[in-house]
Amino acid sequence: MKTDTLVRVGLVGAGFYGQMLTHQIMHHTPGMELVAIANRTLQKAETAYQNTTQPVEVETAAALEKAIHEGRPAITTDATLLTEADGIDVIVDATSAIEEAAHLALKAIENGKHLILANAELDGTLGAILKTYADRAGVVYSSADGDQHGPQLELFRYVTSIGLKPLVCGNVKGLEDYYRTPTTQASFAERWRQDAHMVTSFADGTKISMEQAITANATGFRVAQRGMLGPDFDGHVDDLTRWYDPEQLESWGGIVDYVVGAKPSPGVYVIASAPDHSHVFYLDLLKMGDGPLYCFYKPYHLCYFDAPASIARAVRYGEATVAPMGGPQVEVIALAKRDLDAGESLDAIGGYTFYGQCENSDVVRAEGLLPVGLAIGCQLKNPVQKDQAIRFADVVVPEGRLSDKLYAEQQEIFT
């Protein structure tokens, strides 16, 4: 547990999320200091520090340590410097990378830095094995609060704490179209100053699948079916207590899910039962309904506004906001976004060739299914039809990737 007064943060990634998180820490988070930003494009790192002291560019860990000692914000294109330098308590990964982020995560852990991920793509693919490494090193591995899995876990813990039994952790979406591409999402991305691939991953369901896989792995929940139930639901989330079958939910033991079109949106919900029947009368009295299911929800998620709380929680108390409780329960697999020919290469999450859906990990193993986090850059050996799940047997995986090594280790440890 940290005992001095200042939480010193190193941020990797100065895109949309990183820019806003920088502003939140620098202007609205007393007791926390963003001492360094690493980004492939140095200009973005410099821009993130706008309206603060002019940052200094550094190229070595020693130069970074000197800047920290002098109280000068630092920027660099070499993210490894942040993992090596003294004077940084915690690394925040605000990228959507997989391979590069896996290297960064291990270096941060090896150098005794807590690791906070605003990178659902990495977390949903390799979270279990990275937490294993973090536990061995005595540092905290956690998702950042603010994205949907954060408030879902907040509700899950609350519902459990009052003696109810969570049965569904859910996410509210405004739309879903598996076949969206960066071309169809270009105008939206431009309007909101975001990356077109990123907003495509929101629209095609990959992002929500990653978020729900993270939630499942932190709760022990599973999915009811490939892709989750995901109903179109034109009503209030409270009314979901009549849509879900309580006996079916009990038999599943707890699922992650989402709905499209429910209100309030965006938001998250937890559906729970009351094993202690004395609660039923009082829940009805307190306007929660007459059961057997009860809905708890939060009508917003505030991303970078909430992330500093996770950073402080890790450093001050040695606690994770959201982290795998063991081996993977749910993974996100790649499905063809269109008919794909042998010889084609899979492009990127939120791209033109594949989208992601949740599947239970035992099925992923049994069928040899390819996780979206490992799909990037793979070359197809076999044609794959539109909406068909892509298997490891269908692709040639790029050689020498750390992410593949870590995934194999994750599979071996948690078999």
Same domain, 158 and 224: yes
Same domain, 196 and 284: yes
Site of tokens 């509700």: 155
Give the DSSP per-residue string, 331-353.
EEEEEESS-B-TTPBP--TTSSS
Q: Which of 275, 294, 317 is the last residue of a domain?
A: 317
User: Is residue 404 in some structural domain?
Assistant: yes
Specify the CATH number for the domain of residue 361.
Answer: 3.90.1210.10
Same domain, 296 and 154: yes
Write out residues in the chain with pLDDT < 50, as ranges.
none
Same domain, 153 and 270: yes
How far is it, in rounded angstroms, from Cα 326 to Cα 332?
A: 17
Same domain, 273 and 291: yes
Same domain, 349 and 372: yes
| Predicted pLDDT at 4 | 62
Same domain, 141 and 160: no
| Predicted pLDDT at 51 | 66
Instruction: Note the pTM of the prediction, 2 decimals.
Output: 0.96
User: Is residue 66 in some structural domain?
Assistant: yes
Q: Which of 317, 347, 369 is the last residue of a domain?
A: 317
Same domain, 339 and 283: no
User: Is residue 324 in some structural domain?
Assistant: no
Same domain, 309 and 274: no
What's the total number of domains in the chain? Answer: 3
User: Is residue 46 in some structural domain?
Assistant: yes
User: Is residue 53 in some structural domain?
Assistant: yes
Specify the DSSP class assigned to residue 259.
E
CB within 8 Å of 256: residues ≥ 6 apart: 168, 169, 170, 171, 212, 213, 215, 216, 219, 221, 222, 223, 228, 330, 358
| Coil, helix or strand at residue 263 | strand
Token readout for 129 is 């094995």
pLDDT digit string, tens, across residues 108-148: 999 999 999 999 999 999 999 999 999 999 999 999 999 99
User: Is residue 207 in some structural domain?
Assistant: yes
User: Is residue 138 in some structural domain?
Assistant: yes
Which residue spans within 133-224 are E strands per DSSP? Answer: 141-143, 165-173
Specify the CATH number for the domain of residue 94.
Answer: 3.40.50.720
Q: What is the extent of the structural domain holding 166?
A: 149-302
| Coil, helix or strand at residue 90 | strand
Q: Which residues pair with 141 in a beta bridge?
A: 115
Same domain, 14 and 140: yes
Is residue 125 a contact partner of residue 185, using CB atoms and an 8 Å limit? no
User: Is residue 323 in some structural domain?
Assistant: no
| Predicted pLDDT at 162 | 97
| Predicted pLDDT at 50 | 83
Same domain, 162 and 254: yes
Same domain, 15 and 100: yes
Give the DSSP per-residue string, 343-384.
TPBP--TTSSSEEEEEEEHHHHHHHTBPBHHHHTT-EESS-B
Determine phi and psi for 257, rounding to 5 degrees: -160, 180
Q: Which amino acid is at 209?
A: S
